[in-house]
Each structure stands twice: as structure tokens, then as C-alpha cells.
Structure 1
Amino acid sequence: MKCTLLLLTPLLILPAVPADSSVDYDDYDDYSDNGDPPAPPVKGSIPSTADIMRTFAAERRTLNGSNDTVWVVRERASQLLTGPLTTATIPALYTLVFVIGLPSNGLGLWVLATRVRKLPSTIFLMNLAVADLLLCLVLPFKIHYHFLGNHWLFGEALCRTMTAFFYGNMYCSVLLLTFISVDRYFALVHPFLSKRFRGNGFAVRSCCVIWLLVVVAMLPFLLRRQTYPIQNLNITTCHDALPLESLNDYFFYYFVCLVGLGFVVPCCVTVFCYGSVIWTLIQTERRYVHAAVLTGLILLVFVVCFAPSNCILLIHHSEYLQHQSSQLYIYYMVSLVLSSCSSSINPFIYYYVSDEFRAKVKRVIYCQKVKDRTFSGKTSQELLSTSTYSPSTRTTSSTRNSSKN
């Protein structure tokens, strides 16, 4: 409950702008686009320290004798915002994610919705495909933004929407992957206990709660300004240069709760569930070793894709809280690309790995009217392995061994 209140705090409280936080400059016209900041401030004025919590450092400066305000970034941020890493490499990687993720998730969602029997695991996978597909659909805006030199042309409203969709669908994928691991854990480790609650109704309600929580958690991105024109670079950034008008630290606690509830807790649950599943598979029969290896791969992809961005985010915020400066945002931008890669990897490790699922995809592509057999949902239900492991199989095997003895 306490973390929930902290998540909603930025919606209720807006930071006050200190009256003496601006900088007056006599000769601002001499400020070149690519040069250093203008001459030292007029004697008696206090330099602005509008460093930001998530992004590059941006400073608000007021021209001498007027109320006009301009925004500038420091030299290192200028080099990164105009350098090849953010204007070529990052958008190129996003393009690759988009090219792979859009068709794979779209086709996978179509097959799951039309050719697969509706089981709890199928419902979770359909929602995962929707979240990954929505993430891919906002990538063209980020690609255009970065290729244009981190210059946003589509207005404030669309920037807020794009930012909320990007982060929202990323954390939604994390939560859905966690629930899939929990579903696998009870189905394989505690099959008889899971019969009491594990059903389609439970899966639908869980997915609805996940989407609702993500929407609430993303409201701060929708309600706060995200675009700022950077005077010394002649660009308008979208979420990459945001001012911190005051040093109120509730922003820090908001993002700590977001990362904690959106990744740290789900990651611990996922590691425990898949670890228990792997141990159970290894302890049964050798023919399930392949399923155990595949489960380990799923866990590895989850940790590698999402851990770097969230860990860097926490360290980045901590440095700003203690020192009001940080050099980690560029690494965070790169790690976000890695997180988005999950949307293009998930389809191949969660359902395309199944021979039966691939056969259904081929029928859809070639418009074959052959009547499909009832699909049991084994792509997720049984850890996506050709040598599938199921509770019923384990029970039958145990019964046979007992009868032999």
C-alpha cells in the first residue's frame, strides 16, 4: 500500500520552481549552437542546477531583461545527443527489433487466437503477444526520432503517449512473463494443488489486473511534460532531456517503486519458479532434459534482457539523489534496446519452438483449409518442448512403475 501511494505521488504533487533558480545572461546572442555555455552569469544570480532524474542534464536559463526561457544541455550531453551512438546505432538496432518482432508477434497472436485451444497458458501467451506487438508498433516513432538526431516532430501529446506505451508494454511483458512462470510452476511442480484455482477465469482476471496496474503506473508519463527544445542543439527532445525543477526526492521513490514492483519482485518470482521447474524436470526422466534446457534458456533471456536497464536505472537515480549528477543515462539508453529485444525473442522461445505450432503457422501462411487437430496448448503448457513434460505424464509414469513393483 505504501508503494502504491508513492507511485501516485507525482500525480498529486508538482515541484515548485525556485524563484532564484534561473540564470541571467547579458550577451546570449553570442551563444553558438555547438559552442560552450554562454558567459558567466551576472553577478548575484544563482546558476540553475536543473539536473534530471532519468535523462541528460538540462538547464533552464532566462534571458536578461525578459521572461523568455530557453533550455540547454551540457557539453557531454550535447556530444551524446548528436553522436553516432544515439543517432545511428541505437535506431538501427530498434529497426532490427521492429522488423523481427512485428511479423512474429502478429502472426503468433493470430494463430493463438484462432487455432489454439484456450487454456490458461494460451491466454497468458496471447496477452504477452499483444504487449510485445504494441511495443513494436511504437518503435517507428523512436526510430524516426533517433535517426533525425534526437529531434521530435510529432508534438507533446504523441511524445507522452509514445513514452507511456514504450515503458508500459515493457513492464507489462515482465509481469506477464512472471505469471507464465508461476503457471508453469504450479502445473509441473504442484499439479494437483493447481487444479483448485488454475483455470481460464483465473488467467483472464490476472491479465486484467496486470494491464490495470501498468496503466496506473504509467500515468506520470502521460501527465508530465516530456518534450523540451534544446537551444544550443536546435532540437526538441522527447523524454531524453527533462528538467528537475526542485530537489524533492519523491521522484526517486516513485522510480524505485516502479523498478521494484515492475522488475525486482517479478524477477525473484520468475527465478524461483523456473528454478523449481528445472529441478523437477531433471529429477524425473532423462527425456525431459531438453525441456529443462529450454526452460533455462527462457530464464536466461528474461534476466539478460531486463536486468541491465533496471539496475542501471536504480544506480542512475541514486547518483542524482546523492550528487545531483550522473553519467549513466547513455548506458541506460543502450540497455533499453536490449530490453526491447525481448519482444522479438519471446515468440521464438515461447511458441515457435513447437513443431506443432510451426505447422499451424504454415497452414495460415499458405491458406490451407485442412482441418486442424485440437491443439493442446503445449507450446507454453508444457515448456515448448517436443519431448513434452506434463503432470498427467508424470502421474501415469509413476502409476506404471508402482504396478511393476
Structure 2
Amino acid sequence: MLKTVLVILLIYTVLLDVSLQDNGGKSHKKTRNITSIGPRSFDGRRMERKIILPQNRAHNDSPSFSTPSLLELELQANGTASYFTGALSTRVIPAAYVVAIIVGVPSNAVVLAALTAKTKAFSAAILYFSLALSDLLFLLTLTLRVFYHFNGNHWVFGEAACKVVTACFYGNVYCSIHTLMCLSVKRYLAIVHPFTYKSLPKHSCAMWSSLTVWAVFFTAMVPEFLIHQSYHLPHLGITTCHDVLPLNDKSYSFLPYYKLSLICLGFFVPFTVTVISHMSIIHQLNKAHNDWMHYIKMSTFVLIVFMVCFMPSNVIHFVHYFKLYTSKEEHFYMYYSVSMCLCGLHSCLDPFLLSLMSRSTESKLYFITFKGKTVSMST
């Protein structure tokens, strides 16, 4: 259970780029005594101000309810403002998410429907079901983020919704990573240690592994609800969700350690376990007398998908935070925001990946062990 205990804490990362150029100061906003900040996890302080109606407004137009208050931040770098108003964040990224939603939602829904009746037939179906559910929740979360980006990075759903969307967005990514790790370990035991695997209560192990992943996921989400996630940027006239945070504020002091630990435990640990498992599987099958090319291709494909979809965003994310807190450099953000689109791609590929894996799972495995004994089992 060491693999599942290492389960994620969830990434609620930084989304703001600094490698875009200054758009030139738009005399778009009024003068205010507001401290400056940088994107997402950069330095800054927050202030509270009340939204005051214009004085030239007719008296009978005044609202009868009390005026709400907003937390405001002002951007330090004009390049950050360019990111918020540029085509990358308002067109390219949401367009990629739309493609992921169109392909991924129906395909994952079909997988869930197909697996509902099979969870008692073979234990791997439990983990497949968990993976498809995680992907589906991730894609449904994307719908609000798509609206947010197409709306000029202006969040209109409120602070509570911002916290929930942020937690689900990153939480389901890491839930998928750890579920894939559990599937890899399961297959590693079935092929490399078949006698040990045959003696295990497979349904119970699969069920508890899945429940542990989800339990840790919900626990790891708690920090997302402890901090304020949405801030108004008066210079741009927009309210961001999770994209700009005042890290100099005391309530945010734990974030650097939390985020870096999250990346290590949420990605690098399961990535290492997954790579070792699949390399061992491929090595073992290559030594067998039977033709296991289909199984070898499947293991290789799983590994490639894992690396292509999850590695870029997490490596860039780690480097981004490391640079941010050591030398205050923030230019890695554009690459990070683009690489996050690959996580959406993963949710589209998973149904086809599960189809490939289930074909070999439903049939029995026969192979020669090191001791020359033939073992037959169903995973």
C-alpha cells in the first residue's frame, strides 16, 4: 500500500506567464493605492476595497442591497497583463480544452457504463472505473474553465465555485496519475511475481487502493479551501480564479512548501513506480518463450502516454516554482500553461487505453516463470 499512501496532494498550480511582451500601459484604470503583485504565486499583498457606484448615477438607480467588497491586486509585469488579454489564454488554451471535452466526455461515459456490470467479474475493472470517473470529473470541471478563459480570464461564478473548480481540476489530474500507478503495480505483480499475485485478495486490494486514492485526494484538497482564490485586477477590469495570488501575505506562506511537496508526491513518486513497473514487465515478457508482443506494446503505450501527458506540465511546474522562489524568475509560465493542455489530452486517450488493457486482462495469462513452471491466471 506504499504506492497509494504516496497519493497525491493535488496541484493547484500557478497559471500566469511572464514571457509575453508588454502591451504598453493602457490607461485603462484609475489610480489606486494598491500594492503590486505577480502572477499566481508571485509576491504581493492583498487589499480590500468596496465597489462604489459612480456619483453621476441617478438616485433611483442605486441598489437596495449592501455593496459587496472585492480583494484587489495589481500586476507588476506588463507581460502578465499581455498573457491575460492575449490569444494564448483566451483562445488557444480553451480551444484545446473544448476538443478534450468533446472527445473525452462521451467516451469516458461509455467506459463507465460498460464497466458498471464488470466490476465483480475482474478486479482490474474497479481501477478502470476509478480512472474513467476521475477523467470524467476532470473534463466536467474544464467546462467552467473554458468559459473563464473565453470570457477574457474573468471569473463570474464566485469565490466558493473558484475553490471547488480549482480543487477538482488539479485533484482529478493527480487522482488519474495514482490510479495509473496502481494499475501498473497490479500488472507488475501479476507478471513478475505471479505466485504472490495469485494468493492476493485481488478484488479487496483493488477496492481499497481505489478508495485510498480518492480519500487522499479529498484530504489533499483542504489547503485549496483555506486560502482566497479569486482576486480582482483593477488595471484589467477582470477577476481571476487561482491565477494570481499574493504570496507575501501570511496566510499564503505555506504554499511554496505545499506545492513543491505536492509535485514530488503527486507526480515524481508515482512516475518512478510506474516506470519501474512497466520496464520490469517488458523485461520479463521478453524472456518468455511465448509471443507477448501485444502485451509489450500495451505496456510501452501506457508508459508513453504517462510521460507525454503528465511529465511536461509537472517538470515545468517544478522548475517554475523553484525559479520563482530562488531567483524570482517567472518566464516558465507560458510553457506550463500550454503543457497543461496535455492533461486534457490524457483524459481523451484513457478510454482507448482502457480498451487496449482490458483486451489482455479478460483473457488468461500463460507464461513461463524463472523456475520453469507454467502459471495461468486472470488479472
Mapped to 2, the partners of 1:208 and 1:274 lie a distance apart of 23
Q: For 1:162, which of 144, 151, 165 is the aligned residue?
A: 165
Equivalent position amino acid for 2:274 in 1: T
Mapped to 2, the partners of 1:56 and 1:233 lie a distance apart of 18
Does structure 1 conserve the Cα–Cα contact (< 8 Å) formed by 2:130 and 2:210? yes
Mapped to 1, the partners of 2:279 and 2:364 lie a distance apart of 16
Mapped to 1, the partners of 2:232 and 2:319 lie a distance apart of 27
Equivalent position amino acid for 2:266 in 1: G
Q: Residues 162, 121 of structure 1: CA spacing in aligned structure 2 closer, same or farther, 3 A cutoff? A: same
Does 2:253 correspond to 1:252? no
Q: For 2:338, which of 326, 334, 341 is the aligned residue?
A: 334
Equivalent position amino acid for 2:26 in 1: N
The farther-off stretch of 131-140 and 218-227 is 218-227
Q: For 2:88, which of 85, 88, 104 is the aligned residue?
A: 85
Does 2:279 correspond to 1:283? no
Larger Rg: 1
> Which residues of 2 match residues 3-402 of structure 1 at below 5 A?
34-35=26-27, 48=35, 50-51=37-38, 54-55=40-41, 60=46, 70-73=72-75, 74-115=77-118, 117-246=120-249, 250-285=254-289, 287-351=291-355, 353=356, 378-379=358-359, 381=361, 390=365, 392-394=366-368
Does structure 2 conserve the Cα–Cα contact (< 8 Å) formed by 1:60 and 1:71? yes
Does structure 2 conserve the Cα–Cα contact (< 8 Å) formed by 1:59 and 1:71? yes
Q: Residues 226, 259 of structure 1: CA spacing in aligned structure 2 closer, same or farther, 3 A cutoff? A: same
Mapped to 2, the partners of 1:56 and 1:249 lie a distance apart of 11
Secondary structure of residue in 1 paired with 2:340: helix
The structural deviation recorded for 1:191 is 0.8
Does structure 2 conserve the Cα–Cα contact (< 8 Å) formed by 1:33 and 1:231? no
Does structure 2 conserve the Cα–Cα contact (< 8 Å) formed by 1:174 and 1:266? yes
Q: Residues 232, 171 of structure 1: CA spacing in aligned structure 2 closer, same or farther, 3 A cutoff? A: same
Mapped to 2, the partners of 1:49 and 1:230 lie a distance apart of 10
The percent identity for this pair of structures is: 35
Query: 1:102-131 CA distances to partner (integer Å, 9 max, x unpaired)?
Result: 011110011011256532211111111110
Does structure 1 conserve the Cα–Cα contact (< 8 Å) formed by 2:229 and 2:241? yes
Does structure 1 conserve the Cα–Cα contact (< 8 Å) formed by 2:163 and 2:224? yes
Does structure 2 conserve the Cα–Cα contact (< 8 Å) formed by 1:78 and 1:233? yes
Q: Residues 56, 152 of structure 1: CA spacing in aligned structure 2 closer, same or farther, 3 A cutoff? A: farther
Query: 1:51-104 CA distances to partner (integer Å, 9 max, x unpaired)?
Result: 45x4577665789xxx99742223101101110011000000000000111011
Does structure 2 conserve the Cα–Cα contact (< 8 Å) formed by 1:171 and 1:263? yes
The structural deviation recorded for 1:37 is 8.9
Equivalent position amino acid for 1:72 in 2: E
Q: Residues 287, 323 of structure 1: CA spacing in aligned structure 2 closer, same or farther, 3 A cutoff? A: same
Does structure 2 conserve the Cα–Cα contact (< 8 Å) formed by 1:184 and 1:381? no
Mapped to 1, the partners of 2:192 and 2:214 lie a distance apart of 27
TM-score calculated relative to the size of structure 1:
0.74
The farther-off stretch of 201-210 and 317-326 is 317-326
The structural deviation recorded for 1:33 is 7.9
RMSD of Structure 2 on Structure 1 (CA): 3.2
Does structure 2 conserve the Cα–Cα contact (< 8 Å) formed by 1:56 and 1:240? no
Corresponding residue for residue 18 of structure 2: none
Secondary structure of residue in 1 paired with 2:73: strand
The structural deviation recorded for 1:223 is 2.3
Does structure 2 conserve the Cα–Cα contact (< 8 Å) formed by 1:87 and 1:149? yes
The answer for unaligned runs of 5 or more in structure 1 is 9-31, 42-46, 355-377, 383-387, 401-405
Does structure 1 conserve the Cα–Cα contact (< 8 Å) formed by 2:37 and 2:45? yes
The farther-off stretch of 213-222 and 194-203 is 194-203
Q: Residues 235, 56 of structure 1: CA spacing in aligned structure 2 closer, same or farther, 3 A cutoff? A: farther
Query: 1:234-270 CA distances to partner (integer Å, 9 max, x unpaired)?
Result: 1111111111134875322111111111110000000
The structural deviation recorded for 1:280 is 1.3
Secondary structure of residue in 2 paired with 1:287: coil
Does structure 2 conserve the Cα–Cα contact (< 8 Å) formed by 1:182 and 1:273? yes
Does structure 2 conserve the Cα–Cα contact (< 8 Å) formed by 1:124 and 1:207? yes
The structural deviation recorded for 1:177 is 0.2
Q: Residues 249, 317 of structure 1: CA spacing in aligned structure 2 closer, same or farther, 3 A cutoff? A: farther
Mapped to 2, the partners of 1:124 and 1:240 lie a distance apart of 33
